[in-house]
Amino acid sequence: MKQKITLKNLAINDRKTYLELFLIADESEAMVTLYLNEGEAGLIQLKGETIGVVLFTFPDRHSVEVKNIAILQKHQNNGFGKQVLVIATDRYAAKGFRFLFVGTANSSISNIAFYQKAGFRLDSIKKGFFLDYPEVIIEDGIQAKDMLVFKKDLTE
């Protein structure tokens, strides 16, 4: 039987407590600090244990962005990230949002595959986005330079 996660609301005042979890998905503390207090955040929980975090922002009245989604390594590749996206799709479609966006680095090969398998399609590229980060990011021998923005239509 597949284990099910729950999302527990994470108040703005409590978000800094979970900074280490947010840093799993975005290695720059300076960048995470810029958006940490925006939007809606949640604790990803499995049987009451926090195994990750997620943060959603609202760039316009029709769109939701998955700004950060991070799951502890020992719980990765178990379908929990996909469950978070299903919950988000259902929740925000019910609230009338039309699109769910997520950005990831050109070097994040596994993330690129993950989002496409979850029904997202490549929407745009923010060239040079990661060149503004304080430190160079290398994944799978590839330097993170550009952000690939994926979009999911919530009305389909």
| Distance from C-alpha of 113 to C-alpha of 120, rounded to nearest angstrom | 10
The count of other CB atoms within 10 Å of the CB of residue 125 is 13
| Distance from C-alpha of 52 to C-alpha of 72, rounded to nearest angstrom | 6
Average pLDDT value for the chain: 95
* Beta pairing partners, 43: 8, 53
Given a contact cutoff of 8 angstroms between Cβ atoms, the answer to whether 147 and 129 are in contact is yes
Q: What pLDDT, in 10s, does the model give residues 113-122?
A: 999 999 999 9
Q: What pLDDT, in 10s, does the model give residues 7-29?
A: 999 999 999 999 999 999 998 99
| Distance from C-alpha of 70 to C-alpha of 40, rounded to nearest angstrom | 15
Domains parsed from the chain with CATH numbers: 5-153 (3.40.630.30)
The three-class DSSP label of residue 148 is strand
